[in-house]
Structure 1
Amino acid sequence: MKDIYELLNDLNIDENEFEEMEVNELEKAHIKRSLKKEINKKKKRNSWKKSVTAASIIVGLSVTTFVAYPAYAGNIPVIEDIFRFFDNGKPGFYNNKKENSQNKETGLYYDYKKFSSELNITKESNGVKITINDAVFDGKTLTLTYTIESEQDLGNADITMPRITGMKAYGGTGKTSKIDTNKYVGILTVSNIEDKKLDVAHINWDIDHIQNPDNQTVIKGDWKFAFSLNATDSKIQLTDGIAEKNGVKVSIGKISFNPMSFTVYYDQEVTEMVKNKWDGVDVELEIKDDLGNIYSGEDNGGMRKDSSYHVSGSKTFEKLDPNATKLIITPHITLRDYNSDNFASVEITNDGKKEISLPEKPGKGKEEFVLEDIIIKIQK
């Protein structure tokens, strides 16, 4: 399927037929980000000149307006909400999923806005304003979006994660992106690793500092949020899928389905032989269904159990095709060594931080391999 830039190239354009349309800051930011990705990607191909010509139509515009060609305005990918801003690929186009007969728009966060609660709770401290925009909870995983306004540069601001009452073991991930001068948007997830499922999430998000990871500057303040969310409808399917090879075993214990996505929960175990040779083991799950759809997803983090090699984690994928009857899960394994380029270990002493040398192991660089497919029949 052609992307938006190829569609623009195919048009016979009369500049008198353009009309200006006001757009918000999110839409401007997404256009800039999409342009950069497309130009960089096309430069690697022989057809890059064609792409840049089409892209220049938008580059030459004022940053406060967006030109819309009336007959094709519906094809231009703009941001509808913060969830979609952080979506995989370009909103409105199939990037990671096979086109089906319905030709529906897709993406990991495509339906999150629809099922979320609009909160718009704002706290301000030390010249920084933080707003929780929308949030959704499926019984095990909380996903929320936020906006930050600050007179200081925050980079990809690091912020502490929320806590959910009654949730003892959880993983989480977060992203922050600058969309304009002094303005940022972010998304985060907190996922329960335990078997426990909650009907209502009582959430406390106490932020006492924001750190800029680029220059390690810290802004201290007092941003405290407290709110509750009812869980969306969801169904948990228990599974016993296992794949094992070269001393690494991946077990799929359960899958949680909700109206906007599904989450796969897995365990990673390794043998003593692997532990003695390699410093770390990473598992990446690739998922497709029996219709040919390939699902994009985001890691929710995980919890290490009796050793650093035994991990319980989860990963959330985009909405399941309702016509699918099977999921084919392919675990991709990476064995790696830790060195100064990819790992740093420190010990806090009275004199400050002290770097710790890791014990030498025979495994060098990395080794990659793929386990056999784990096929899960979906319970309807």
Structure 2
Amino acid sequence: MSMKEWIDMDIDQLELLDVTDIEKARVKQHVLKKRKKAPFWHNIAVAAVIIVGASTATGFAFPSLASQIPFMDNVINYFNDEEQHYKNFEAFSTDIGLTETSNGITVMIDNAVYDGTNITVSFAIETDHDFGEAMKISAPNWFDIVGASGSGGSNQITKISDTRYVGLSTFTPHFKDGKYPETVEVTWSPHAFYSMSNDLEVKGDWSFDFSLDRLDGDIQLVNETIQHKDVSFTLQSVEFTDVSTVISYEQAVTDELLEQWPSVTPVFYVTDDLGHVYINGTGGGGVSPDNGKTFKGTTSFGAIQEGASKLIIQTVEIASLGSGQGHNEIELEPIVIELKQ
């Protein structure tokens, strides 16, 4: 059955199978993949929330139960472009398969991966409500990482049918000691879903928790500094994993520049010597201990295309007044990295 046929399937017309048959089908589907099952952790506080909400929400805490619901799989395919930025996500990500339903909205976390710096989660939503073309999610913390002091990142939600949406979230947790653990524990508790085209807002009780192990990666130290009149930018390293490429950097700006522009943050344009475009004006997560005078962060993109021998990283500093009051762009010299073969 094709993906389109699966998506368009009328759930009411499905023939119910015994649990044993479904489990066999799911094992058969995933045995050919390199994806691994996520270890699950539950503390007393989380368990209490699930029990209290049992009268209003239907929770499926384990993949064996979630697999009984005809829903989505391979969500990442909707976010792959011509450059196949997520081409290895399906093979090396962890199969989460957690599903919860509340107030006519079913949310499923499909897959997730932790590359040692960033976390990417694919998810799907099925709803009885008319949210229109654009949906947003309200949550106190988008995805929360146990032990992290905060996180920054981006997310996108795409409508694929009248009742279904797919989503992708990439975020970078920040740890006070600057060290990233071998395993991260992730929680997510959306409070409400609301439409961007009408006044619809649906509150409910959804709660997820799962663990992710760090992917093995190769780090190539760079430590190249580009000096501008008011900005000093250092590309520290590039880490390569099976699903992503992570660049780590730090920068310092002068007091004079900050007096004129209170916010100075970098965005990146990354290509290779074969012409592939990896990111085109994208920032990343980071922290500043001194109100922007120094800044340390990372940004990530997909795995390097086969055959590429050079990575060209162009940094543009966005000096801003904030709140759409105006900005100035400071273009830095590109950094060319010779890729190890």
Q: Is TM more than 0.5 here?
A: yes
Which residue of 2 is the match for residue 10 of structure 1?
Answer: none
Deviation at 1:325, TM superposition (A): 4.2
Structure 2 counterpart of 1:374, from 316, 335, 340 = 335
Whether the 8 Å CA contact 2:233–2:252 is kept in 1: the answer is: yes
Deviation at 1:120, TM superposition (A): 1.9
The one-letter amino acid of 1:143's match is T
SS at 1:275 equivalent? helix
Q: 1:81 to 1:239 in 2, by over 3 A?
A: same
Q: 1:311 to 1:158 in 2, by over 3 A?
A: farther
Which residue of 2 is the match for residue 314 of structure 1?
Answer: 298
SS at 2:205 equivalent? strand
Whether the 8 Å CA contact 1:173–1:189 is kept in 2: the answer is: yes
Deviations 1:109-162 (A, max 9, x none): 122111112222101112221111111122222111111122234433124322
Which structure 1 residue ranges, 5 or more long, are not aligned?
A: 1-20, 29-79, 94-105, 344-364
Deviations 1:27-47 (A, max 9, x none): 99xxxxxxxxxxxxxxxxxxx
Question: Is 2:47 aligned against 1:86?
Answer: no
Deviations 1:213-261 (A, max 9, x none): 5556543221111112222221233331221224122222232210122
Whether the 8 Å CA contact 2:136–2:157 is kept in 1: the answer is: yes
Which residue of 2 is the match for residue 176 of structure 1?
Answer: 157
Q: Percent identity?
A: 27
Which residue of 2 is the match for residue 125 of structure 1?
Answer: 102
Measured in 2, the distance between the counterparts of 1:301 and 1:270 equals 18
Measured in 1, the distance between the counterparts of 2:7 and 2:318 equals 36
The aligned length equals: 271
Which residue of 1 is the match for residue 135 of structure 2?
Answer: 156
Whether the 8 Å CA contact 2:268–2:314 is kept in 1: the answer is: yes
Question: Is 2:192 aligned against 1:209?
Answer: yes
Which residue of 1 is the match for residue 285 of structure 2?
Answer: 301
Structure 2 counterpart of 1:187, from 165, 168, 172 = 168
SS at 2:109 equivalent? strand
Deviation at 1:300, TM superposition (A): 4.1
Measured in 2, the distance between the counterparts of 1:180 and 1:247 equals 49
Measured in 2, the distance between the counterparts of 1:169 and 1:129 equals 27
Which residue of 1 is the match for residue 124 of structure 2?
Answer: 147
Which residue of 2 is the match for residue 113 of structure 1?
Answer: 90
Structure 1 counterpart of 2:183, from 200, 222, 232 = 200
Whether the 8 Å CA contact 2:76–2:86 is kept in 1: the answer is: yes
Q: 1:22 to 1:166 in 2, by over 3 A?
A: closer
Measured in 2, the distance between the counterparts of 1:291 and 1:229 equals 33
Structure 1 counterpart of 2:113, from 136, 149, 152 = 136
Q: 1:238 to 1:111 in 2, by over 3 A?
A: same
Structure 1 counterpart of 2:320, from 333, 336, 345 = 336
Counterparts of residues 50-69 of structure 1 (less than 5 Å): none
Deviation at 1:22, TM superposition (A): 8.3
Whether the 8 Å CA contact 1:137–1:232 is kept in 2: the answer is: yes
Deviation at 1:193, TM superposition (A): 4.0
Measured in 1, the distance between the counterparts of 2:8 and 2:126 equals 17
Whether the 8 Å CA contact 1:140–1:198 is kept in 2: the answer is: no
Structure 1 counterpart of 2:203, from 192, 197, 220 = 220
Q: 1:128 to 1:300 in 2, by over 3 A?
A: farther
The one-letter amino acid of 1:156's match is M
SS at 2:290 equivalent? coil
Measured in 2, the distance between the counterparts of 1:291 and 1:326 equals 8
The one-letter amino acid of 2:215's match is T
Structure 2 counterpart of 1:275, from 258, 282, 307 = 258
Whether the 8 Å CA contact 1:170–1:303 is kept in 2: the answer is: no
Deviation at 1:319, TM superposition (A): 1.2
Q: 1:271 to 1:200 in 2, by over 3 A?
A: same
Q: 1:216 to 1:312 in 2, by over 3 A?
A: farther
Q: Which moved more, 1:113-122 or 1:159-168?
A: 159-168
The one-letter amino acid of 2:318's match is T
CA RMSD across the alignment? 3.0
SS at 2:149 equivalent? coil
Measured in 2, the distance between the counterparts of 1:119 and 1:279 equals 41
Question: Is 2:267 aligned against 1:284?
Answer: yes
Measured in 1, the distance between the counterparts of 2:248 and 2:227 equals 17
Measured in 1, the distance between the counterparts of 2:196 and 2:75 equals 22
